[in-house]
Structure 1
Amino acid sequence: MSRIPQLVIANGTVVNSFGRRHAHIVVVDGKISQLVDATEPVPDAERTIDATGQLVIPGGVDGHCHVAQVTGRFRTLDDYRTTSTAALWGGTTTIIDFGIPRDARETPLEAVLSKKALAQESRCDVALHGSVVRWDETVPWQLEQLAAEGVRSVKMYTTNRGTTMADGDTILKVMREMVRLDGLTYIHAEHDPIIADCTAQHADDGRIGIEHLHRTRPELAEETSVKETLAMAQYTKAPVYFVHQSTPGAVDLVTEARARGQEAYSETCPHYLTLDDTVYGSAFPEWYACCPPMRSPETVAALKQRLAGGAIHTVASDHSCYDLTQKRERTDDVRAMPHGLPGVETRMPVTFTAMAEAGSSVEDFVEVFAAGPARINALPGKGSVAEGFDADLVLFDPSVQRTVDGGALHMGTDFSPFDGRTLAGWPAVVVSAGRVVLDREGFHDPGAVGRFVSRNGFREHLAATADLSAATL
């Protein structure tokens, strides 16, 4: 006698990036075992959730989170329990964090293994990116070890000299290694000489407080760095992924590179789609301290157009959980204050609302929220509501709106840059690995059940998912 399924999501409108259908979703042992057409009877199950009138999408994949991150003398206030809980509240069932060396004494491999140990407290699934700051003869071996651990991407910064910045030689050599290991190069692209000079000029003029942040890091710095990095990626034939792109010019450079046959990807963040540089003239400019900074209203509008047109491949939170006490310690000098915004919990409603305003479909939203991040980051079993995939599911009614209350969120900080905004796209039910962790009764802490997800090779995974998409369509 066959075993009764643990869970059935009945009568929902299942929306994937490639289409939608009305179906019952059957969950067995944390996997989607079957999609049954909604015209058929609802299968028996230990628990049935009626999704009539709701959309059912794959659980979100946030490819850019910083958990328990140490930068200089500042440490974000979260841990994996806090951030993974907030992620689940926000419809994200997989986060990808970074193992970034704290200083010259910590190696890239040590940084990743340290984060992997901390991630044992996670409530949702976790993957990791590595990071290289400086090249030495051990780096190729360390990258091999990271690949063996299932860490198939490496982030490098083109700015932040003296801390996390990698020089051009290091970036080029790491790109070569990532090609050899079938991995992906992540880049924080801001041209350091331009930023350093521009910041110094503002400091000399006494205009270095938080209200001047957007003027110290011009759009030209981002676009110049993207152009240089794309040239190195073309030379090495390396796939490259640009984090938190904030300008349409940066996105267009990636689009042009793709037209030439390069494997290049654009990520943006919810705050760059919804906030503009007038926030630095507000009563609380420290709420918006991040790099790159917010851009002009015209730039924000053009960036949303690029997203609506499909030129942006993922939307990630770039979650960094500082609180206002840390932010306000040095508002007089942007060089000394911590940069980064809490956002893992609000990524879904902010992105959904911004895309709906731009005329995007729910399928388009699913692509940048879940399917694209899963595919590009070579995460097996993630990003689709399909048979054999992990039972990571989000139910929501797009007509339901809520107003953001930063103090009522769950990210371990005391503010949200979206406080007071009315948004659609809030999750009503969240299922993670087959467990119902959020429903009308509230949050049900599953405990430290989050799994470390070992990633596939980049090109290997793209080929496999292309075959799957073709078969599904």
Structure 2
Amino acid sequence: MVDLVIANGLVVNASGSRPAHIVVDGGRVAEIVDATEAVPTAARIIDAAGRAVIPGGVDAHCHVAQVTGRFRTLDDYAVTSTAALWGGTTTILDFGIPRDATETPLEAAMNKLALAREARCDVALHASVITWDETVPAQLEELAERGIRSVKLYMTNRGSTMADNDTVLKVMREMVRLDGLTYVHAEHDAMVVDCTQAHAEAGEIGIEHLHKTRPELAEEASVREVLAMAEYTRAPVYFVHQSTPGAVDLVTRARRRGLSIHSETCPHYLLLDDGVYSSRYPEWFACCPPMRSPETVAALRERVADGAVHTVSSDHSCYDLSQKRERRDDLREMPHGLPGVETRMPVAFTALAAAWTGDDEGLLERFADLFSAVPSRINGLSSKGMIAPGYDADLVVFDPAELRTVSGAALHMGTDFSPFEGRELRGWPRVVISGGRVVLDEDGFHDPGPVGRFIPRAGYREAAAAPPPAVASLVATGPLATTGKGA
């Protein structure tokens, strides 16, 4: 007898959807049976009752137990992976960022691997390079052999995580050699430093002025510069947290020229605008880049709906309000970053639905693309991102109509606030299955313990060359299609 059947669901992949029963055995999808057939027998049957079943979420941009300067995020892998599962995300990708000059990129990644043993969901990793030396190529080669196939580079944050242009070019060349992917935080450092200093001299350096110190032009100028280096080296590049339609449009034009470039945005850039810095608690919204104008936010949502943005990741950074408020008077001294791994699903779906002009099934398929399929494919997670035989049984019974009002106190991210506090969001998980285990259902959360696996990743070109299963092959009838009882 197989382990589990999700019966009577609308099985939604990025490439198509249809009513079916999903058969799960040994942690993987064993078969998909057309809904006109009898429900297969299983040790447990969950009746989806016609609701959408989408692939478990892949959050390609999380910071767990991250040390930056004198601040450390307050979470660990047990906390963040639990929060991810509550929010329908079954795989997270974290960063091994050197905490200071004494920690090498390899050491930073290995330290994160050790911490990840407490994870409740699957984990993959990005490396990070800040300073180039003659040991870096060998370190990147060892990381690639271990399945860590991407490196993050910061174009800003002078004196801490910023890499200079020589380092950026050399890392891009290594990523081409190793079939890897370069992740880039693109903000033009000289512009940011100059603009911030000008506002400081004018006495406008509190957090309520954050959006004035990091202009849209600084982001777009940095994207242009990185694209030139990518064209020069032929390196694939993934831009994290793009916050402006102009930045996304630069990527779109580069892709038309044949470059392998990808745009990521984050939920907070799709629902929040720079009016939050005039609110009672502006420190709740301290992140870089900052929130943009309402007009920019609306245009960015349109780019998400029309497919120009490839992924929506959380950029989860779990500081609490005491850390945020310690230096709210000086935005240069406070920690930047927002908790969001748990709310990524409803915020992203609410924003996408607001800009969507097609039919409901198309909306669900586009959401599955952003939430799971594309981040899996770009990052070489070959067993993730699709509901198909042989893929990991990471599944979410999703209710696109369900409305809930966010309460930070009711979330599970290890902090005491949410930037979406009091907002009504649409689209929440009803049931979450991770690696074939039911971790969330009508009875609440079922902690699976530290069962999360480290997932080695395929190379970038290798993953891009592997065609996904054809939609027609995803549904079949067979010997498993025998009568069972729903539960």
Normalising by the smaller structure, the TM-score range is over 0.9
1:392 pairs with 2:389: no
Matched position secondary structure for 1:15: strand
Q: In structure 1, what is the Cα distance between the partners aligned to 2:397 and 2:53?
A: 5
CA distance in 2, matches of 1:174, 1:291: 23
CA distance in 2, matches of 1:397, 1:195: 42
* Residue 418 of structure 2 is aligned to residue 416 of structure 1: yes
In structure 2, what is the equivalent of residue 215 of structure 1?
212
The equivalences for 1:174-323 within 5 A come to 174-323=171-320
Return the letter of the residue paired with 1:267: E
Residue among 75, 78, 83 paired with 2:80 = 83
- Could you report, residue by residue, the CA deviation over 1:36-81 in whole angstroms, capped at 9, with x for unpaired residues? 0010000000000001121000000000000000000000000000
Residue aligned with 2:127, SS: strand
Give the C-alpha shift of residue 424 in structure 1. 1.3
- Asked if the contact 1:84–1:123 (Cα under 8 Å) also holds between the matched residues in 2, the reply is yes
Give how far 1:380 is off. 1.8
Matches of 2:215 and 2:190, distance apart in 1: 12
Helix, strand or coil for the counterpart of 2:336? Answer: coil
* Deviation of the 1:278 alpha carbon: 0.3
Aligned-partner residue type, residue 81 of structure 1: A
Per-residue CA deviation, residues 102-124 of structure 1 (Å, 9 max, x unaligned), is 00000000000000000000000
Tell me whether 1:96 sits opposite 2:93 in the alignment. yes
Q: Is the 8 A contact 1:191 1:221 kept in 2?
A: yes
What SS does the aligned partner of 1:333 have? coil
Using the TM superposition, name which of 48-57 and 78-87 deviates more. Answer: 48-57
The partner residue of 2:71 within 45, 70, 74 is 74
Q: 2:19 and 2:454 mapped to 1: Cα distance?
A: 32
Cα displacement (A) at 1:448: 0.2
Following superposition, the deviation at residue 269 of structure 1 comes to 0.2
Partner secondary structure for residue 42 of structure 2? coil
Quick one: structure 1 residues 181 and 470, their matched pair in 2 at CA, closer, same or farther if it must change by over 3 Å? farther
Alpha-carbon shift at residue 359 of structure 1 (Å): 1.1
Consecutive unaligned residues of structure 2, counting only runs of 5 or more, are 358-362, 475-487
Matched residue SS, 2:449: coil
Match of 2:145 in 1: 148
Measure how far apart 1:468 and its partner are. Answer: 3.2
Structure 1 residue 425: deviation in Å? 1.0
1 CA distance for matches of 2:109 and 2:233?
A: 25
Aligned match for 2:369, one of 367, 370, 377: 367
Deviations 1:19-42 (A, max 9, x none): 101110000100000000010000
Query: Contact (CA 8 Å) 2:15, 2:471: kept in 1 or not?
Result: no
Task: Provide the secondary structure at the position in 2 that maps to 1:352.
Answer: helix
- Equivalenced residues, count: 469
SS at match of 1:413: coil
In 2: Cα distance, 1:350 partner to 1:163 partner: 31
For the 8 Å contact 2:59–2:371, the answer to whether it is kept is yes
Could you say what secondary structure the match of 1:207 adopts? coil
Q: Which residue identity lines up with residue 54 of structure 1 in the other structure? A: R
Which of 24, 31, 52 is residue 55 of structure 1 equivalent to?
Answer: 52
Aligned residue number for residue 165 of structure 1: 162
Q: Secondary structure at the match of 1:251?
A: helix
The code of the aligned residue for 1:320 comes to: S
CA contact (8 A) 1:122 1:449 kept: yes
Which structure is higher in RCO with an 8 Å CA cutoff and minimum separation 6?
2
Shift in Å at residue 467 of structure 1?
5.1
- What amino acid is aligned across from residue 347 of structure 1 in structure 2? R
Pair 1:459 & 2:461 matched: yes
Cα pair 1:53 1:397 within 8 Å, conserved:
no
Checking the alignment, whether the CA contact within 8 Å between 1:77 and 1:321 is kept in structure 2 is: yes
Compute the TM-score of the two structures, normalised by the length of structure 2.
0.95
**1:355 counterpart = 2:389:** no
Separation (CA, whole Å) in 1 of partners of 2:224 and 2:34? 48
Q: SS at the partner of 1:129?
A: strand
TM-score normalized by the length of structure 1: 0.98
Name the residue aligned to 1:118. 115
- Deviation, structure 1 residue 400: 1.4
Q: Which amino acid aligns with 1:396?
A: F
